[in-house]
Structure 1
Amino acid sequence: MTYRPARATASDAATLTLGVEEEYLLLDPRTGESLPVADRVLTALSGSAREQSRQEFRHSMVEMVTPVTADLTELRTHLVALRRSVGDAAEAAGARLVAVGATPVHEPHRTVPDEPRYHAMSRRFGPVAHDPAVCGCHVHVGMSDRELAVQVCNHLRPWLPVVQAITANSPLHDGRDTGHASWRSMQLERWPSIGPTPHFESVADYDATVAELINAGIMLDAAMVYWYARPSAAYPTVEVRVGDVCPAVDDTVLVAGLVRALVATMADDVRARVPARRIRDCLVSAAHWRAAHDGLEGDLIDLRAGVARPAWDLVGELVDTVAPALTRHGDLDYVRDQLARLRRDGNGATRQRRVMARTGDDVRAVLDHLAAETRAA
């Protein structure tokens, strides 16, 4: 039986709101190379789709932002509509919309859009700012109390590698398998302000640290806090930005449901004065590397015990940990059903590799598969 997301009770004060940002690549249907047609695609959008679109750091990328919603059913509807609208605009511009975490073949045009901030980033960070495009999925969970948001981010640290493994969807680079389930994660490590969220004592500690990093030239501004979880610089939310963009809509909705339940559970722990685990940053970084390398097909590091364990064991424990919050939001059956699908079919990286194995490493077949998943309702 396939479950659709249940509707949350919007009047329930314990129901946390959600929003998702998804980044997509625009690829040449023949060669698989990135096409610099984002301006044409964005111009072709109209109505709410245009309002929910964003220019990104590459001419071959577009970002779409869902409206704020209280339940996964509406979130799924928004994602399907946005992917359909931008997919149609991409086809009209001679490109194909593909939800994949990193440039799979080649990106010939790596200049940044003509925006002052992007030019400033290019000058400051040099070749790093001209790496091939990468695409993420950012989940926002409503939280107006910034002090609480900072403490929630502390509590999220042991679990975010598991979320990263679930979303891994970028095994290819230059048309070959990198050996990593998420090559996007490897590319992003070159940026100085990306990585695991540090532990902060308070929102004042957080703000002071960000100010020091800006003064030191590590960041241009507070919007360049690209840690895997953060109080959003733009919205009253906790933003979890560790994941690759997911190929299928139901993958994204699954991740959004899990992230909301994680944030809700960690917020309950903060209110109950349960202390966050103090884990060495080097171990957290190692856990994220392992998640990017193995995805769901191998082991992950259990940061609570400091040992490697089968990935699916940790996924199961994640669900057990957040099950009360999933139940409260009406998401438990849907999340369990979608995780059973992932266990059967694999995450995005595994599904790409299966197409490669079936077709004799035919990258074009992989991109056909990804494009179909991206547009499927």
Structure 2
Amino acid sequence: MNDRPTVATTVPDLSLLTLGVEEEYLLLDPDTGESLAVADQVLAALSGSARDQSRQEFRHSMVEMVTPVSCDLGEVREHLVALRRSAAQAAEAAGARLVAVGATPVHERHRSVPDEPRYHAMSRRFGPVAHDPAVCGCHVHVGLPDRELAVQVSNHLRPWLPVVQAITANSPLHDGRDTGHASWRSMQLERWPSIGPTPHFESVADYDETVSDLIAAGIMLDAAMVYWYARPSAAYPTVEVRVGDVCPTVDDTVLVAGLVRALVATMVDQVRAGVVAPRIRDCLVSAAHWRAAHDGLDGDLIDLRSGGAKPAWTLVDELFDTVTPALVRHGDLDYVRAQLARIHAEGNGATRQRRIMARTAGDVRAVLDHLAAQTRAT
């Protein structure tokens, strides 16, 4: 008899993928719309699970809330509703309003970083870039315990992430005026050297070597400063997609989370089937993201599979068709289809803001009133 222990050689079951969402919010003055530096007060006012699921952010006018890991979109929605409600109540107690918007819409007086050694190091290294007005994103984590697989999936995601970016665009305003971009947050973030489209990597070893080289060159302080639009998380066994603006409503966020999970699941299937990720020139990928940030869903997007421009909703429909089998597998098809139909009718966050601006002769206060109500609506 062979008494030696057996070694498990089974491949992890990735037929149903776990999910988690991080949302960043602004704290705004109810009267002026300016950013308020009251994050410490808001975080201190949170209690219980909401306090445990909150995070200090890079600005005194921001808070971040993080859902628990889940397999069910309905549970993700419940968590987001509860977290937004708790954070909104804490913000009101501090004299502010919690607003899910991608970039500072009016003005930010206090741009110093919180009193944390890492934030001070970033301020010293990157100077004025580290003191831009606050921006807020939506980060979707999808469980992938294999880092090699996460790197290959990130390669396969590259053609589709501009479409996700366009769906989430929710920051057309800056200094109280329309910037002409659906996502001004994306424009601000381009000033950082470690933010942008994910490069193509041959392997996880190639990825790790590149990150080490960038740290050694002073481009990043550490591996946590890999802010590419898709990446193996530095903290969790996930692939993290961080291309999107924070969404105005819970249902907008859950739609994006469902699409991203289905997209990751689809790319896992392709990697395991031996499908090679397309090698797309970095300049074209960057151009596609610029177009998505500029046009949102109201113009054309660049189809990185062909290199040509298409109406945004044509590419959204093609994304939906591509991930439909994964949506079915996760039980998300009906919800995602219904929410995409709603976005098609209502527009994304940027379109909704511009519609209010047009109706009110440019009244930014009316836009922010609407956003604050949408942030905490269930």
Aligned pairs for 1:184-333 within 5 A? 184-333=185-334
- The residue type paired with residue 174 of structure 1 is D
Q: How many residues align?
A: 366
**Aligned match of 2:337:** 336
Aligned to 1:58, what secondary structure does the other structure show?
coil
**Aligned match of 2:368:** 367
**Aligned match of 1:6:** none
Aligned pairs for 1:55-66 within 5 A? 55-66=56-67
- The residue type paired with residue 200 of structure 2 is H
The answer for unaligned runs of 5 or more in structure 2 is 1-12
**Aligned match of 2:158:** 157
- The residue type paired with residue 300 of structure 1 is L
Q: Does 1:15 align with 2:7?
A: no
Distance 2:78 2:102 in 1: 22
Evaluate the alpha carbon distance shift between residue 13 and residue 271 of structure 1 in structure 2; reply closer, same or farther with a 3 A threshold.
closer
Using the size of structure 1 for normalisation, the TM-score is 0.97
**Aligned match of 2:5:** none
Distance 2:163 2:321 in 1: 13
**Offset of residue 235 of structure 1:** 0.3
Distance 1:317 1:330 in 2: 19
Distance 2:327 2:298 in 1: 25
Q: Does 1:127 align with 2:124?
A: no
**Aligned match of 2:79:** 78
Question: Could you list the per-position Cα deviations for residues 99-128 of structure 1 after superposition, in whole angstroms to 9, with x for gaps in the alignment?
Answer: 000000000000000000000000000000
Aligned to 1:16, what secondary structure does the other structure show?
coil
- The residue type paired with residue 217 of structure 1 is G
Structure with max Cα Rg: 2
- The residue type paired with residue 171 of structure 2 is S
- The residue type paired with residue 108 of structure 1 is R
Aligned pairs for 1:142-153 within 5 A? 142-153=143-154
Distance 1:108 1:20 in 2: 29
Aligned-residue CA RMSD (Å): 0.6
**Aligned match of 1:39:** 40
- The residue type paired with residue 184 of structure 1 is R
Distance 1:127 1:207 in 2: 29
**Aligned match of 2:25:** 24
Question: Could you list the per-position Cα deviations for residues 136-165 of structure 1 after superposition, in whole angstroms to 9, with x for gaps in the alignment?
Answer: 000000000000000000000000000000
Question: Could you list the per-position Cα deviations for residues 247-291 of structure 1 after superposition, in whole angstroms to 9, with x for gaps in the alignment?
Answer: 000000000000000000000000000000000000000000000
- The residue type paired with residue 75 of structure 2 is E
Distance 2:270 2:70 in 1: 24
The answer for unaligned runs of 5 or more in structure 1 is 1-11
**Offset of residue 13 of structure 1:** 5.4
- The residue type paired with residue 202 of structure 2 is E
Distance 1:255 1:133 in 2: 22
Distance 2:330 2:225 in 1: 32
Distance 1:327 1:199 in 2: 29
Aligned to 2:193, what secondary structure does the other structure show?
coil
Aligned to 1:220, what secondary structure does the other structure show?
coil
Aligned to 1:22, what secondary structure does the other structure show?
strand
Q: Does 1:102 align with 2:103?
A: yes
Distance 2:341 2:60 in 1: 37
Aligned to 2:112, what secondary structure does the other structure show?
coil
**Offset of residue 64 of structure 1:** 0.3
Distance 1:42 1:367 in 2: 22
| Percent of pairs with identical residues | 86
**Offset of residue 338 of structure 1:** 0.3
Distance 2:126 2:76 in 1: 35
Moved over 4 A (4+): none
**Aligned match of 2:3:** none
**Offset of residue 14 of structure 1:** 1.2
**Offset of residue 200 of structure 1:** 0.1
Distance 1:13 1:291 in 2: 30
